[in-house]
Amino acid sequence: MDLEIEKAIGGHYVVWRFNRPRVLNALTDEMILDLGDAVADFASDPRMRAAILTGTGRSFSVGADLKSMSERNALTDDIEPRISGNDPDGSGPAAAPADPRMPYSLGVEAVPKFPFGNCPKPVIAAVNGLCIAGGMEMAIDCDIRIATPDARFGLFEAKRGIMAGVAVQHLARVLPVNEAMHLLLTCDTMNADRAHQLGFLQQVTPAGTLMDRAVEIAEMISANAPLAVQGSKAMVQFWRHFGATEARRLQQYVSDKVLASRDAREGPLAFAEKRPPNWVGA
């Protein structure tokens, strides 16, 4: 499975593991939807009090599968005339996606928001290597972050002609504003030591002990009163998300403009074809 789920009933925690190591745990729509279902199950299971998110191999996740994104863009180009009622063969509107969890979308990004911020229980990110784009955004959305010394963090969306999602709203709430701007605008990377220095990571631990330490933290949380833990998270999240509704409205407007651009199609296509992108600024 691309997303492995293991519940440790005795320890009151669950482990979610991205399992596409051959493509550095690049995220598909289905993986994100499955993770959303797993989070919902975790939130409703009274035996579970903490969760750990990690990856298989040398990567936590490098974000969206851009090859799949490019293919989806090509499919969109093919079906868009039928959506507008101008299908030359008269076959009518395109069918909705097979997965009922996926709302129909013509946009480049057709996946829901990451679910951890709205989860009442704590989620720990155990970052085992590359943590890029959507992978870093998932880490941002977690409550506690630890990593191995070789972890690297980055937001490369602007290199692909698109915008980051969660990061444009929340990165500046977990990093100094100018540090957040540096990552978003330059697409540079941040190493584990720098991330720890800035408070993005709570601990850097050797690769061989990463999961042991993550489990230790999960068990420390699980040993405390569940309602007190959840209440504490709720209050912190209220502060973190203060003003987020208004910000999301603006983000939706700006993002729609960016995602409708020719550059937003060129970025993933150039990546899939292994060539430099040809930006036109439109």
What is each CA distance from 78 to 84, 106, 184, in whole angstroms? 12, 11, 32
Say if residues 131 and 139 touch (Cβ distance below 8 Å): yes
Using a 10 angstrom Cβ sphere, with 0-12 exposed, 13-18 middle and 19 or more buried, the burial of residue 182 is middle
Q: Which of 4, 71, 137, 219 is catalytic?
A: 137
Q: Which of 157, 179, 219, 266 is catalytic?
A: 157
What is each CA distance from 135 to 22, 26, 62, 242, in whole angstroms? 16, 8, 5, 24
Question: Could you give phi then psi for residue 42, rounded to 5 degrees?
Answer: -60, -45
The answer to whether 137 is a known catalytic residue is: yes
DSSP 8-state class, residue 108: S
Q: What amino acid is encoded at 136 in this protein?
A: M
DSSP 8-state class, residue 211: H
Q: Supply the residues annotated as catalytic.
A: 137, 157
